[in-house]
Amino acid sequence: MTALTYLTGGLSLGSVYAIIALGYTMVYGIAKMLNFAHGDVIMIGGYVVFCTFTYMNLPVWLGLLLGMVVCTVLGIVIEKLAYKPLRGTSSLAVLITAIGVSYFLQNAALLVFGSAPKVFTSMFAKANNIELADGKLILTPETIFTILICVLIMIGLQVFITKTKMGKAMRAVSEDNDAARLMGINVNQAISTTFAIGSALAAVAGVLLCSSYPTLMPTTGAMPGIKAFTAAVFGGIGSIPGAMVGGLILGIIEILSRAYISTELSDAIVFGVLIVVLLVKPTGLLGRKITEKV
Amino acid sequence: MKTVRAHGVKGMLKRALAVVMAGTMVLSMAACGSEAEPAAESGSATVKIGGIGPLTGSAAVYGNAVYHGAQIAVDEINAKDPNFQFELNFQDDENDAEKAVNAYQKLKDWGVQLLLGTVTTTPCVAVSAETFADRVFELTPSASSTDVTKGKDNVFQLCFTDPNQGTTAAKYLVDNNLGEKIAVIYNNADAYSTGIYNAFTAELKKSGKDVVYTGTFSSDDNADFSVQLTGAQSAGADLVFMPIYYTPASMILAQASKMNYAPTFFGVDGMDGILAMEGFNKDLAENLMLMTPFNPWSKDEKVAAFVKTYEEKYGETPNQFAADAYDVVYAFYAACQAKGVTAETPASDACEAFVEYFTTEAKFDGLTGKGMTWGTNGEVSKDPVVCVIQGGIYVDR
């Protein structure tokens, strides 16, 4: 029974990684860049929604909507100011810029919100646990909703990029930037849209992350961001279902190794598994889909 | 108090960041420069107290509390004793050892006679090496590691040391028969947490008790405690000792409540501040026990007066850091009176007089304890206060 309890813990952690990894993989798949600031956009989303709850007393859905709007605008601004001028330069320059943006956001949040941690009220505070086996096995509403929302977003994204015109344009851009431009596709618009969607997802991820793990600090997004990036690579970066699978597996591995092997070594084990997977299958678990690029 | 973790994985890029942030820094430095301006008093000569602590950055909560608490004490003393005036010059160190040493040099140019600080452990270790060489008396309100005072006869602490807290907590649990089966969750990458844990288990062993489960984590950013809590629960622990800061502790309380696991939680002074977290559901902390030197809801007259002034002036309830700093200034005052230290006394003479006073005759009653005395190793000895949180406030036990 304890093992099952650990497993549910792993699911709840993994579902959070999965939803963050979706944003990473989306941006990477199309814009071909690792947006290391993704974790910090999540943190900003968390703060915005926290403020709508605490200071403005808005209902949950309105707060979430506002958070998504702010993050979308933020994502577009970051893209325009920090990444667009570097388009066409080495990918290393963009990567370093992304890390700079990440620090900028963390310190801006430190300046605005201060270093004292804030406690986020879970979106699902009113929902009850699901108790199985005489209450010995507990599934929290946060876990269930995170997984559900994750699946919904996954399906939505797949439909969007395969069925809509904009989605097709995005895929074309990801296949071949220059050829897409020659075919009359507005590359800048496609990439901006990618960032807008990725950042809106970050707001959702921020709310779900903070609902499961309620302490909000300027560094809240940093570590989950890096873990989720690992999850995205693990599942095959650029693949949307891969991000979800990678996130869940990563969460479960992390919790189980923490429970049965060692708390200190758990991160080492997680990254060790990643190395093994990449050695055996360099494109990640669901990497075959990388040819389709999201 | 103690070490505050440095920012994560991308540390090597701090330099690049420094350039990016330079503009912002100039602005914020200008702002805190004016805030940290010494409260210059009228014509009479003043005894110069230097203060060092983080007024900006991720540990700013601690530094500002110390600065504000000390300022209140200085203002009080200046108002009631016309023949004796203090002047406080508080410098920002951003919880950085190098900046703390620079701040100390600045204070030396200013003519500092007594040093209050520093607030956090790592900068304090660096600064106390300097004060030891310069013979400047140093009393820290909150740096609790034994490294701060080790081998330095001029450095004293007003707060409990880490091992001292662990020992006292273990004794308290045994004496009061709290907890049949005790589990511990601590941060094994943090000197503060580990120091308390080691002393706690050693003391517990002496009385023939054992810890049934030990859970560790290695970063105060850690979010998931399901493994540690499941471990403690399946080991049947009815008391969980948490020698950790309030941020991870708040996560533990929230997750334990979701798991329907309700042992007695017992924290130490790092737990102080949990009720002040914005948005924290105080019901989660109901019946949480903690060892803290300062209870802002205490019925004590002096405490109540301090809390009232602090709330009026700064709009928040003071924490233990503010109270510690307030006590430091009053301890300085008592020592100045006893040893006849004035504005004309050179810092090194004041240092020798203070060292002698603190190790022999000092018996100080403050907000954070009565009858405090100091050993030659600089450690304070005072009675611990155990509070339990009920209805969102501390209640003395």
Residue B324 within a domain: yes
Q: What is the model's pTM?
A: 0.81
Please tell me the predicted confidence (pLDDT) of residue B369.
87
Q: Which residues of B touch A213 (CB under 8 A)?
A: 223-224, 251
Question: Is there a domain that residue A277 lies in?
Answer: no
Q: Please report the pLDDT score of residue B21 as a whole number.
A: 46
B277 and B232 part of one domain: yes
The whole-number pLDDT of residue B241 equals 96
Task: Give the CATH number of the domain where residue B317 resides.
Answer: 3.40.50.2300
Separation CA B1–CA B351 (nearest Å): 23
Cβ–Cβ gap A50/B10 under 8 Å: no
Residue B5 has pLDDT above 70, yes or no: no
Residue A49 within any structural domain of the chain: yes
Asked if residue B186 has pLDDT above 70, the reply is: yes
Res. B17: pLDDT tops 90: no
More confident of the two residues A149 and B22: A149
pLDDT confidence of residue B277: 84
Q: Do residues B343 and B273 share a domain?
A: no
Identify the residue whose tokens are 């325009």.
A80
Q: What is the mean pLDDT of chain B?
A: 86
- pLDDT value, residue A285: 83
**Is B286 part of any domain?**
yes
| Extended strands (E) in chain B | 47-53, 86-92, 114-117, 137-140, 155-157, 182-187, 211-217, 239-242, 264-267, 289-291, 364-366, 369-374, 380-381, 386-390, 393-396
Are B128 and B255 in the same domain? no
Q: Are A225 and A20 in contact (CB under 8 A)?
A: yes
- Domain extent, residue B84, equals 11-24+35-160+303-381
On whether residue A279 sits in a domain, the answer given is no
Position A288 scores a pLDDT of 56
Least confident stretch, A123-137, B108-122, B357-371:
A123-137
Domain boundary among B260, B292, B324: B292
Please name the helix (run of DSSP H) or strand (run of DSSP E) that holds residue A119, with its range, or none: strand A118-119
Token pair of B362, please? 């000092």
What is the pLDDT, as a whole number, of residue B24? 47
Predicted local distance difference test score (pLDDT) of residue B40: 44
Split into its structural domains, chain B has a count of 2
The rounded distance, in Å, linking the Cα atoms of A248 and A244 is 6
Q: Is the pLDDT of residue B218 over 90?
A: no
Range of the domain at A159: 15-123+138-221
Task: Give the percent of chain A with pLDDT over 90.
Answer: 41
Query: What are the φ and ψ backbone dihedral angles of B156, each rounded to 5 degrees?
Result: -125, 160
Is residue A203, in this structure, part of any structural domain at all? yes
Residue B3 lies in a domain: no
Which residue in the block uniquely carries the two structure tokens 């598994």?
A: A273
What is the structure's pLDDT at B44? Answer: 60
Residue A75 has pLDDT above 90, yes or no: yes
Region of poorest pLDDT, from A43-57, A114-128, B70-84, B303-317 = A114-128
* A107 lies in some domain: yes
A142 pLDDT above the threshold of 90: no
Q: What is the pLDDT of residues B25-64, one digit of tens each?
A: 444 444 444 444 444 444 468 999 999 999 987 788 889 9
B153 and B17 both lie in a single domain: yes
- Structural domain includes residue A185: yes
Substitution target in A112, A215, A216 with the highest count of B β-carbons within 10 Å is: A215
Which residue is listed with tokens 């494109």?
A: A283
Domain co-membership, B126 together with B19: yes
pLDDT tens-place string over residues B88-141? 999 999 889 999 999 999 999 999 999 998 999 889 999 999 999 999 999 999
Mean pLDDT (whole number) for A196-214: 92
Within a domain: A29 = yes
Q: Does any domain span residue B297?
A: no
Residues of chain B whose beta carbon is less than 8 angstroms from a beta carbon of chain A are 7-10, 13, 16-17, 20-21, 24, 28, 57-61, 188, 215-219, 221, 223-224, 226-228, 230-231, 234, 247, 250-251, 254, 258-260, 276-281
pLDDT at B113: 94
Do B111 and B167 belong together in one domain? no
| Same-domain check for residues B132 and B17 | yes
Asked if residue A144 has pLDDT above 50, the reply is: yes
Domain membership of residue A23 (yes or no) is: yes
Please count the structural domains in chain A.
1
pLDDT for B311-359, tens place per residue? 999 998 998 999 999 999 999 999 999 999 999 999 999 999 999 999 9
pLDDT value at residue B346: 92
Are B169 and B212 part of one and the same domain? yes
